[in-house]
Amino acid sequence: MKIALAQLNYHIGNFELNIKKIIAHIQLAKADGADLVVFAELAVCGYPPRDFLEFEEFISLCEEAGKEIAEHCTGIACIVGLPVRNEQAAGKDLYNAAYFIEEKQIKSIARKALLPNYDVFDEYRYFEPATSFECIDFKGVKIALTICEDLWNINNNPLYVSNPMDELIKENPDVMINIAASPFSYQHDDERRVVLADNAKKYNLPLLYVNQVGAQTEIIFDGGSMVFDQDGNMLDEMDYFKEQLKTYTFADGKIEGDVFVHQPMSDIAQIHDALVLGIKDYFVKSGFSKAVLGLSGGIDSAIVCALACRALGAENVMAVLMPSKYSSDHSIKDALDLVENFGCMHEVISIAEAADAFDSMMAGAFKGLPFNLTEENIQARSRGIVVMAMSNKFGYILLNTSNKSECAVGYGTLYGDMCGAIGVIGDVYKTQIYELAAYINKDEVVIPVNTIVKPPSAELRPGQKDSDSLPDYDTLDTILFQFIELKKSSKDIIAMGYEEGLVRRIIKMVNGAEFKRYQTPPILRVSPKAFGSGRRMPIVGKYLA
């Protein structure tokens, strides 16, 4: 038997596109001699559909799509993920499920049992967990079909009390197939390989695993579909961040092929590719084509400009230089050098006149009070007005350029430099930003060296540097990682040797900035714990860890 894995980029709620893509790959797999082609979890509607699942019409469209796909399954069978109705009155109205279709008939439906309800996942909000399991018989082969999380309850601290494969194995299956929507983080590909290999070894069965690829707003799927033999050896790994269709031969209880040597990408290379894909898909799937951003001459906006040019084409990127009276000549030159290197569009619009106008307008109300953060924020908000005006006038979509370190401690101005439609680097720490710059410059210097080596500054007052307000980024990012990603308390972090006052100050800043993060754009998720739907904290909570 030949089994094809279709690693595709779906679009949530775009049934016409998803159906067309699935049918096209059924035909391609058939032309390649495949007997069965396998698509990803919730491929029909896209993942995660979230509250679209609460609309009756949405579920009906999923059902109609399943029937249309079935009409094209002649001479080849397919497995495809979609939501199906729960016919029982008790429980949630839907299952996260998969059709097995053969000769135009839906011969079997597999339902997901283990419903993740952590980090970016909230499947139990919508779906009923399956409680019964049955293998699929096809051409004399017994297939144990599971859906994503159903294979993840295999570690030393299981999250669930049951395991679907423990039931399916009782039917003596010949092969395991798992369809997934497994989001990207720069650590998750390593975890996936271990979990899947452990399943193959535990059940002594070969395993074919298909993941989807593409970005759905802030959540990015990296693909990397895999095949394992019954001993847990990887036989193949499909491309990351790309669509791909590959066919494998299953015969005599084994998948043909030699052991595959995995070539790991560095964390920074993965982050780079994920962000480029995230920007591209946000624009394509939203029907946008051109981006605008504020280009300061600093490293953060330089990185975002570089990524946007690679994702959208330099001709579709507008960089707006907005010097203030405190901006240095070298910052303007650095920004112009970057624009020249990439060949993107640009405008130079000084905010000095606008800031002076606000100072004059507020002079009466602020009489006798010294220059402080208020005037700095007015400058930042003046820049926000300029880039939003460019967005409104020309239809550009604004890219936010705040990094994770800044987002964490609230080092940014609401309705100023924190505005935008999508946060490009809001899940990338400042120390990683420098690594990203080096990666982008690995073949040729496109981000000016001076942009990378000069001390970071918002340039909102004379001689200002980030270090005036924040700890050294190496120290800050280490403490933030321990607190945010690893969820360690201040007591734990202090015990690692960090000064108590510094640790408590940083954690207080993180908690105090929660109200700002609630009002910022969605952030492309590249880490195990990103701000947004995967990290839900109360704004008015007193607990400081």
**Active-site amino acid positions:** 41, 112, 148
Q: Are 42 and 149 in contact (CB under 8 A)?
A: no
Query: Between 430-440 and 473-484, two packed helices, what is the crossing angle to 10 degrees?
Result: 110
Is residue 300 a known part of a binding site?
yes
H or E element: which one contains 271? helix 267-286
Distance, in Å, from the CA atom of 209 to the CA atom of 341, rounded to the nearest integer, reads 42
SS3 for 19? Answer: helix
H or E element: which one contains 475? helix 473-484
Is residue 296 a known part of a binding site?
yes
- Any idea what the Cα angle at residue 268 is, between residues 263 and 269, rounded to 5°? 50
- Please give the DSSP secondary-structure letter assigned to residue 314: G
SS3 for 388? Answer: helix
Distances in Å between the Cα of 122 and the Cα atoms of 51, 188, 220, 225, 476 are 10, 18, 16, 23, 31
Distance, in Å, from the CA atom of 283 to the CA atom of 272, rounded to the nearest integer, reads 17
Is residue 368 a known part of a binding site?
no
Q: Are 40 and 73 in contact (CB under 8 A)?
A: no
Is residue 406 a known part of a binding site?
yes
Q: Under 8 Å CB-to-CB from 52, ≥6 apart: which residues?
A: 12, 13, 45, 58
Largest CA distance in the chain: 87
SS3 for 80? Answer: strand
Please state whether the peptide bond connecting residue 521 to the residue before it is cis, i.e. omega within 30 degrees of 0.
no
Is residue 299 a known part of a binding site?
yes
Is residue 295 a known part of a binding site?
yes
- 236: number of Cβ within 10 Å: 17
Is residue 457 a known part of a binding site?
no
Task: Enumerate the β-bridge partners of residue 109.
Answer: 99
Q: Quick one: tokens of 129? A: 């967990």
H or E element: which one contains 56? helix 56-70
Distance, in Å, from the CA atom of 431 to the CA atom of 308, rounded to the nearest integer, reads 20
| Amino acid at residue number 56 | E
| Amino acid at residue number 362 | M
Q: Are 300 and 402 in contact (CB under 8 A)?
A: yes
Q: Of 409, 361, 355, which Cα lies nearest the Cα of 380? A: 355
Is residue 182 a known part of a binding site?
yes
Q: Binding site for ATP: which residues?
A: 294-301, 401
Q: Binding site for deamido-NAD(+): which residues?
A: 377, 406, 516
Q: Binding site for L-glutamine: which residues?
A: 118, 182
